[in-house]
Chains A and B, each alone.
Chain A
Amino acid sequence: MTLKRTALWCGAGLAALLGIAALTVALAVTLAVRQPELIRPYVQRALAPRGGSATLAGLSVTISPPTLAISGLVISGPPGEGELLRIDRLQAELIPARIFSGGPRLRHVEAKNIVFERLRPSESETPLDLTPLTRLFDIEDLSLTDARVRLAFPGGDLAAEGLNLSLIPGEGGIRALTGDGKLTLRSDGSVFAEGNLSARGKVTPDPAIEVSLELAAARLSVRGQDIGGLPLKGDLAFRSGSFSGNLNGDNLSAAALLSLAKVLSGRGLDGWSPSGTVSVAARIEPEKPGPRVTAKIKLEQIGFSSPPGDVMGGKLSGRLDLDCLLGPKPRMKADLVINQGEALWGTVYVNFMQNPLDLHAGGTRAATDEYKDLLIKGGLAGFGRLKLEGKARRAGGTWHHQGRLELGETGLGPVFKTFLKDPLAAGHPDLASLKMDGTVRMELSFSGKDKAVDLNGRLLLRSGTLLREGEPSVFSGLEIDLPISYSVGIADPGRSGPLLAAEWGRLSLKELRLGEEKIGPLDMPAVLVPNRLYLGGNIDASLFGAKLLLQRIQVDEPHSPNFRIHLAAKVDGLDLSKLSSKMEGRLGGVLDPVQIDSERVTATGDLTGELFGGKTNISRVTVARPFTPGREFGGDIKVDLVDMERLSAALSSGRVTGRISGSVEGLRISYGQPVAFHLKMESVPTKGMDQTVSVKAVNSISVVSTGSSLGGSGSSFMMGFFKDFPYSKIGFECGLKNDVFTVRGLIREDGVEYLVKRRLLGGINVVNGNPDNRIGFSDMVERAKRATGEKNK
């Protein structure tokens, strides 16, 4: 019984509430009909957005037919940032019978001079919301005239003016839709693009909307100058709560599209100067979980240049296919093929007709600042394929990323030619005639934060050969199987030590040619750990008659311009005659450590050995700029008790007997010529060895020191009687600096400077009559050639 009573009371209460509500509505309608000005303030308040305002000039309601008419409605958002809606006049007639049944609820809607303005660019990342179009389902007969819409974009604003839209009822509840208007895109205060938009279609009771859109006579201009047309046609349909449609544009100007993108995005895209045309066929189709947008873009004769001019393209043709699945986790896929044209990146030139490019990219935006299934793969035909897959997410302002990088079998020849030889041959002529063969393959996993990346994987190089056209290979049979562990963008990666022996890779070389000499085969373990390349074991080879032993080879930061090579070198029995036919002797020694970087080679240690029957010592060996054509060799040389007879015979400069000791300090050689040195030599009396100098040798000294040979009948006379003159001492020093040779005698007696001092009872003096003499480099070269009998080339 209690339950029945409770239900009774509830029913009575509900009836009372409904009655009150009905009375309120009836009162409101009565007031609206009879005294509309009384409810206008309430309507204004209800229409005013937060922080904004609404004003309504006129409001009228009629019962038969049930019609609402408003005039002078202005709704505006917060000052300076809101939206503005202004309606001069709007009249809508209600169909009460359809309030509780299907079909349009508004019989006739007439609106004039509607203005909608959005003064600030939308910050929303979602696509344009088209659901307001569904309001058309509720209207049987529509007449919208002279409407205006203005939307601000980052780089300008888009205005649709003189908009007219009508729905005319037809058979079977189908209403014909027509509309037109003028679209204008303004940027920097001037008209950037304008065109006439027209729409034809129908609204069906499904409910559905099908409409064909056409943007005609669309032109784009920059500062009054026409930069191309933008003719677009499309169809749009709304059915079962989903949109579908297509948009087509043929031969759209690339310059116009880029300008449009610049205006719409507000991003600085100045200076790219594109040319060529783009044809677009885009579709939007309903799919789960969101609409799918696909586009086939045909690129024709595209040209561009980056603002600094470091990246350029010309006559590029190909296609770009885009496939985006929108929704809460948008997925995107892009396939690019360029099979005509050419590109220049810095000094690297690629002809896509010879080496077409195909590139495929894709990924899913799993959440804000989180991307999954990222994939980039592709390559240039004839080069190799690159595949990069991974994921990235941002946390705490830092991007974390990880994935895999795979370089498929890649020909070293095209890579060497395109990225090394062609770009650098202008400054390194030696490269011009080089050719490389072989293949390389690499698999790496990566993980890191922002620009810091840890790489782990393996590099495989097969059959590497470098050869000069028409000559035997510089090296051949290079095989590398290198485990890689590398850190990029990390200041101190920790420098792990070499791995266990089983984890080392190998580097082998069949043959390396240095001039006429051959080294090889070589085979050694190799591994790259952060961030050092280790070559285990020793390189044990024969070179110029010497046994060459290279040990403890390590390369710090091998993939960086700041790489440093460390090693220890042992040379034993280097045959100097194999370096130069005029040299005689052997060298050996230990250079430890030898350090090599892009700027300099330095070696600690000496090379010692025999030189023309005496001894020699070479120290402070350096090479400046070792990897450039202008590399400069440096060092100090000491010689001790060199047999001058053998030396002078080698130089073909006459016969001198005896022994000499001295030094060459600060020797620098560049481009095959001495840059600077200071040479000091003095004869050393040696028991059992004569000290004589031939007339020819005196003549050579004369030629070198004065530029003149022994002239006149005197020398002929002397040569007729004497072949050799005894001497007590030879002493001289000469230097080269700033292309100027200076020669000084080291024997000074009674104010006279001798180069060669005769014996007490005979012989010949060679006197330096002009100690301040300065000899130009080219002149000295000429004199040396004359003294040694070498013919000018």
Chain B
Amino acid sequence: MQKPAHRFPFIVLAVLVVLTACVTVNIYFPAAKVEKTAEKIVDEVYQEKKDTPPAEQKGKPSSMIDGGLLGGLTRLAWLGPATAHAEDATTVSNAGIRALKEQIGQRHQELLPFYKQGQVGITKDGFLEVRITSGLGLPQVATLKRLVDADNAARRQLYEEVGKALNLQPDQISQVRQIFAKQWREKAQAGWPVQADDGKWSTK
């Protein structure tokens, strides 16, 4: 029996629909978590807020010793209240991020005079840029440029580390940068140059 001619395209269409359904990828970007992380890191770098000790997890003890034959003694060996300090689950951190944050923080202290003089500013992409060099000798300009280059390299790595810690795709790192850029600029002190999203520079 001859098959209807229109059946083949219908099957192809059906297969395509099924395939399309199969390859649908749900891209998730944890914006809130990145934002919290950025806020925390920027605060610590700028040292506007002092580090607060992590909240202690209160509640039942985390472990205990059951002494078996020495069951009675287990109560004596009851481990006191757990003092495990839980990290803030809404932020991201690891050894790399902590080290980079520390580097950027240390360098920030060296960059502070340049921020205040308007010689270095924060770009819309979350990096630093040398704005003006008037009033600086060439050795100082060299120092400033080297600091900015080193800081930008650390920032670039920081954004990648945060993305990696959150299992983000490489093309999502730009969103991490933008979130950090917002925090760097919002928390900048008055008098620092900042670049708006439209590319225009102003003094905060």
Residues of A within 8 A of B (CB): 305, 309, 312-314, 342-344, 346-347, 349, 422-427, 625, 628, 630, 632, 669-676, 698, 702, 705-708, 710-715, 717-718, 722, 737-740, 755, 758, 761-770, 773-779
Q: B63 to A769, Cβ gap below 8 A?
A: yes
A426 and B62 within 8 A (CB): no
Whether B157 contacts A630 by the Cβ 8 Å rule is yes
Which B residues lie within 8 Å of A764 (CB)? 65-68, 70
Q: Is the CB of B77 within 8 A of A714?
A: yes
18 A-B pairs within 8 Å (CB atoms) are namely: A313-B138, A342-B138, A346-B145, A349-B142, A422-B142, A424-B146, A630-B100, A670-B95, A671-B98, A671-B99, A706-B83, A708-B82, A714-B76, A715-B76, A717-B73, A739-B98, A764-B65, A769-B79
- With A718-B73, A740-B86 already in contact, the answer to whether A349 and B93 are too (CB < 8 A) is no
Contact between chains at B62 and A628 (CB < 8 Å): no
B133 at the interface (CB under 8 A from A): yes
Name the contact of B63 in the complex, choosing from A344, A349, A706, A737 (C-beta under 8 A): A706
Q: How far is the CA of A50 from the CA of B96 in the complex (A)?
A: 78
Among B63, B65, B69, contact of A770 (Cβ-Cβ < 8 Å)? B63
Q: Contacts A773-B62, A775-B86 known; A739 to B149 CB distance under 8 Å?
A: no
A627 to B147: give the CA distance in the assembly, Å. Answer: 19
Collect the chain A residues with CB atoms within 8 Å of residue B83's CB: 706-708, 779
With A and B bound together, what is the CA distance between A153 and B83 in angstroms? 82
For residue B84, CB closer than 8 A to chain A, the reply is yes
Q: Is B112 an interface residue (CB 8 A)?
A: no
Is B61's CB within 8 Å of the partner chain A?
yes
In the complex, residue of chain A having the shortest beta-carbon distance to the beta carbon of B129: A309
Which chain A residues border B76 with CB–CB below 8 Å? 712-715, 717-718
Q: Chain A nearest CB: distance from B82 CB in Å?
A: 5
Additional A-B contacts beyond A423-B146, A764-B65 (17; CB < 8 A): A312-B133, A312-B141, A313-B138, A344-B141, A349-B142, A424-B150, A426-B107, A427-B154, A698-B65, A707-B82, A710-B79, A715-B76, A717-B73, A737-B94, A758-B66, A766-B63, A774-B84
Which of A309, A625, A769, A777 contacts B93, CB < 8 Å?
A777
Task: Identify the stretch in B52-60, B180-188, B195-203 within 8 Å (CB) of chain A at 4 or more residues.
Answer: B52-60
Cα distance A767–B65 in the bound complex, in angstroms = 6
**Cβ of A346: which chain B residues have Cβ within 8 Å of it?**
145
B84 surroundings in chain A (CB, below 8 A): 706-707, 773-776, 779
Q: Is the CB of B130 closer than 8 A to any CB of chain A?
A: yes
* Interface contact B138-A312, CB-CB below 8 Å: yes
In the assembled complex, the Cα of A31 lies from the Cα of B100 at a distance in Å of 99
Chain B 148-181 residues near chain A, CB threshold 8 A: 149-150, 153-154, 157, 165
Q: Is the CB of B150 within 8 A of A427?
A: yes
| Complex-state Cα separation, A312 to B85, whole angstroms | 52
Q: Is B4 an interface residue (CB 8 A)?
A: no
Most buried by A among B74, B79, B154, B165: B79
Q: Which residues of B contact A344 (CB under 8 A)?
A: 138, 141-142, 145
List B contacts of A309 (CB < 8 A): 130, 133
Closest to A756 in B: B65
- Assess whether B75 is interfacial by the CB under 8 Å rule: yes
* Smallest CB separation, A668 vs chain B (Å): 8
Give CA–CA (A663, B89) in the complex, Å.
Answer: 27
> For the complex, would chain A's binding face be called helix, strand, loop or mixed by DSSP majority?
mixed
A427 touches B149 (CB 8 A): yes
Which residues of B lie under 8 Å from residue A705 when comparing CB positions? 62-63
Distance in Å from the Cβ of B104 to the closest Cβ of chain A?
11
Shortest distance in angstroms between B18's beta carbon and chain A's nearest beta carbon? 35
Task: Assess whether B68 is in contact with A762, with CB atoms less than 8 Å apart.
Answer: yes
Q: Assess the B62–A669 pair: CB atoms within 8 A.
A: no
B82 touches A706 (CB 8 A): yes
Contact pattern, B 30-58, Cβ under 8 Å of A = 1, otherwise 0: 00000000000000000000000010010
**Interface flag for B80 (CB, 8 Å):** yes
Give the number of residue pairs across the A-B interface with Cβ within 8 Å. Answer: 198
Q: Judge whether B95 and A769 touch: CB under 8 Å.
A: no
Kindly provide the distance from the CB of B83 to the nearest chain A CB, expressed in whole angstroms: 4
User: Does B137 have its Cβ within 8 Å of any Cβ on chain A?
Assistant: yes
Contacts of A669 in B (CB 8 A): 95
Bound Cα distance A712, B79 (Å): 9
Q: Are the CB atoms of B93 and A766 closer together than 8 Å?
A: no
What is the CA–CA distance of A425 and B142 in the complex, to the nearest angstrom? 12
B142's nearest neighbour on chain A, judged by CB, is A349
Quick check: A770 and B61 within 8 Å, CB to CB?
A: yes
- Asked whether, in the complex, the Cβ of B66 is within 8 Å of the Cβ of A767, the reply is yes
What is the CA–CA distance of A738 and B157 in the complex, to the nearest angstrom? Answer: 16
Q: How large is the interface on B (under 10, 10 to 19, 20 to 34, 35 or more residues)?
A: 35 or more
Task: Give the residue name and chain of the B residue nearest to A740 (CB).
Answer: B87
Among A718, A738, A778, contact of B94 (Cβ-Cβ < 8 Å): A738
Chain B residue at minimal CB-CB distance from A625: B157
CA distance A347 to B145 in the complex (A): 6
Let me know if A776 and B85 touch, CB within 8 A.
yes
B96 partner residues in chain A, CB cutoff 8 A: 630, 632, 670-671, 675
Complex: how many Å from CA A424 to CA B153? 11
Known: A708-B79, A711-B80. A342 touches B139 (CB 8 A): yes
A672 vs B59: C-alpha distance in the bound complex, in angstroms? Answer: 34
Cα–Cα distance between A725 and B68 once the two chains are bound (Å):
11
Residues of A within 8 A of B14 (CB): none
Q: What's the minimum C-beta distance from A426 to chain B, rounded to whole angstroms? A: 4
Report yes or no: B93 in contact with A739, Cβ–Cβ below 8 A: yes
Q: Assess whether B64 is interfacial by the CB under 8 Å rule.
A: yes
Question: Taking CB as reference atom, which chain B residue is nearest A674?
Answer: B95
Pick from B54, B63, B75 the residue with the most CB of A within 10 Å: B63
**Across chains A and B, which 3 residue pairs bring their CB atoms closest together, nearest first?**
A714-B76, A427-B150, A673-B95
Minimum CB–CB distance for B39 against chain A, Å: 16
Q: How far is the CB of A237 from chain B (nearest CB, A)?
A: 45
Cβ of B68 and Cβ of A347 under 8 Å apart?
no
The residue in chain A whose Cβ has the minimal distance to the Cβ of B54 is: A776
CA gap between A564 and B130 in the complex, in Å = 33
- Rounded to whole Å, the gap between the CB of B62 and the closest CB of chain A is 4
Complex: how many Å from CA A717 to CA B73?
9
Known contacts A344-B138, A706-B82, A305 near B54 by CB under 8 Å: no
> In the bound complex, how far is the Cα of B57 from the Cα of A342, in angstroms?
59
- Residue of chain B at shortest CB distance from A342: B138
Question: Whole-angstrom distance from the CB of A308 to the nearest CB of chain B?
Answer: 10
A42 to chain B, nearest CB (A): 67
Interface centre among B77, B78, B86 (most CB of A within 10 A): B77
Is B128 close to A, CB under 8 A?
no
- Please tell me if the beta carbons of A305 and B145 are within 8 angstroms of each other in the complex: no
Cα–Cα distance between A313 and B84 once the two chains are bound (Å): 58
Q: Which of A675, A713, A779 contacts B85 (CB 8 A)?
A: A779
B57 / chain A contacts, CB cutoff of 8 Å: 773-774
> Which residue from B79, B92, B149 sits with its C-beta under 8 Å from A706?
B79
In the assembled complex, the CB of B50 is this many whole angstroms from the nearest CB of chain A, namely: 16
- Minimum Cβ distance to chain A for residue B136 (Å): 10
Query: What residues of chain A lie closer than 8 Å to B82, measured between beta carbons?
Result: 706-708, 770, 773
A427, A670, A706, A765: which contacts B61 (Cβ < 8 A)?
Answer: A706
Asked whether B63 lies within 8 Å of A774 as measured between CB atoms, the reply is no
Q: What residues of B have a CB within 8 angstroms of the CB of A425 in the complex?
A: 146
B86 engages A774 (CB within 8 Å): yes
Q: B87 touching A776 by the CB < 8 A rule?
A: yes
Partner of A714, one of B66, B78, B97, B145: B78
Q: Which residues of A contact B100 (CB under 8 A)?
A: 630
CA–CA, A773 to B157, complex, Å? 31
Interface contact B65-A766, CB-CB below 8 Å? yes
Instruction: Give Cα A425 to B150, complex, Å.
Output: 9
Give CA–CA (A770, B145) in the complex, Å. Answer: 51
- Which residues of B lie under 8 Å from residue A625 when comparing CB positions? 157
* Min CB–CB distance B130 → chain A (angstroms): 6
C-alpha spacing A65/B83, complex, angstroms: 124
Which of B63, B68, B78, B85 is in CB contact (< 8 Å) with A763? B68
In the complex, what distance in Å separates the CA atom of A625 from the CA atom of B146?
20
Structural contact, B137 and A314, CB atoms closer than 8 A: yes
CB-contacts of B86-122 with A (<8 A): 86-87, 89, 92-100, 107
Shortest Cβ distance from A714 into B: residue? B76
